[in-house]
Copies of this chain bind each other. A is one copy, B any other.
Amino acid sequence: MSLAVTDALLDGERIALRAEEGVIVELGPDVQPRPEDEHVDAAGAILTPPLLNGHTHAAMTLFRGFGDDLPLMRWLEEKIWPIERRLQPEDVYWGTRLACLEMVRSGTTRFWDMYWHPEAAARAVRDAGLRATVAAPLIDVDGRAQDMREAALRSLDAVAGADERIEAGLAPHAIYTVTEPSLRWIAEVASERGIPIQIHLSETEQEVADCLAAQGQRPAHYLDRVGLLTPRTVLAHGVWLDEEELELIAARGAVIVTNPVANLKLAVGRVFPYVRARTSGIQVGLGTDGPGSNNSLDLFADMKVFALLQKHEARDSAAVTAPETWELATGRRAPLLGAAHGVEVGQPADFLLLRTGMPELSFGELPAALVYAASGAVVHTTVVAGRVLMRGGEIEGAEEVLARALERARRLGLALPR
């Protein structure tokens, strides 16, 4: 399988490229397509790296708009948890397929997923053609530590075998939902196997207060104590981290994924201290969080909210720039998240072509246009591993995916608009 893209604009230069076996093999002004190539004439479209969603619960597309505007605990207890108890693998499969469709459409090609039935999510990612790190949320405060551990190991095997584009991870849900012995066990398994960890950390003030009361330490220090703060650890949120915790996270080389839209929507009460984290040299990525608490998977929107919220928080309109935000959203500031190094020979053939003739991309400097003016609707073509997943806004099988996801939502008894 080989692909040629001609007449694209990369960093202001007209280029063409060829990809073989999912990797860029030629790139430059004079590259010619070969007869065997699938050929995409970019017609002057801007070529960019794709976006990377560092934290989501993809299958929750099915729950979108269900019980919005409720306080967090009422939303979980009255709306989400009762339905999740009835959740089947096929629900997760089609919910994740729908999430993949929305991500492809809005330019995201790799994501970090934490949700039930991870083997079904992995199948969905494989069938949709994206890249992902997939993990089940691990919870054992219900006293079922042994069950949790067995399920964790089973899901690792199931996910790891799904596809080469899919990485298996372990996802202790949070320090308040996993017991200390199990956290230590997870740290050992992850260390032995060299696999990544995802965990929600310091999302609410309550979590910090409870951790201080129970452990005599703040969340990041406690996580370090149980061996889970490592260069393979991805921390979602980090809203309530203090300066010492940020220094510790920097020293350990862990990544923080900030989810500004979900944090605002759930009113967690504080803004992730990004400027301070940057000063500490922490790797940072951007996430949407689940579509149940965002409710969109369009990272273009979240990029803008991230930059604006940080400017506001710093009371300085220059505190965070568009180029920096673009780097964050494309995974360039957190190597662990697994983005390609760039659109270069030898790198995975993962990239976007943006629509020409969009007013949003026609004025000013490009990173500013992408971050402040654009939405995911500017994405015309999405390529992962040399495979064209969307062309001209069209994704093969999109109607079936939506229809099947709606079927699953109906089966779960979710109210639909019509």
Instruction: List residues of A whose CB falls within 8 A of some B CB.
Output: 9, 12, 46, 61-66, 68-72, 75, 98, 101-102, 261, 263-269, 271, 291, 294-296, 298, 301, 304-305, 308-309, 311-312, 314-322, 357, 359-366, 368-369, 372-377, 399, 402, 405-406, 409, 414-418
Contacts and interface: CB of A to CB of B under 8 A. Distances in A.
A375 B267 contact: no
A309 B264 contact: yes
Given A301-B375, A312-B264, A415 B365 contact: yes
Given A295-B368, A311-B265, A418-B9, A102 B359 contact: yes
Contacts of A312: 263-264, 267-269, 271
With a 10 A CB-CB cut-off, give which of A64, A70, A321, A402 has the most chain B CB atoms: A64
With a 10 A CB-CB cut-off, give which of A69, A368, A375, A402 has the most chain B CB atoms: A69
Nearest to A265: B308
Contacts of A414: 363-364
A317 B402 contact: no
Given A311-B267, A315-B267, A363 B65 contact: yes
B364 A64 contact: yes
Given A294-B372, A311-B265, A375-B301, A68 B416 contact: no
A373 B319 contact: no
B315 A269 contact: yes
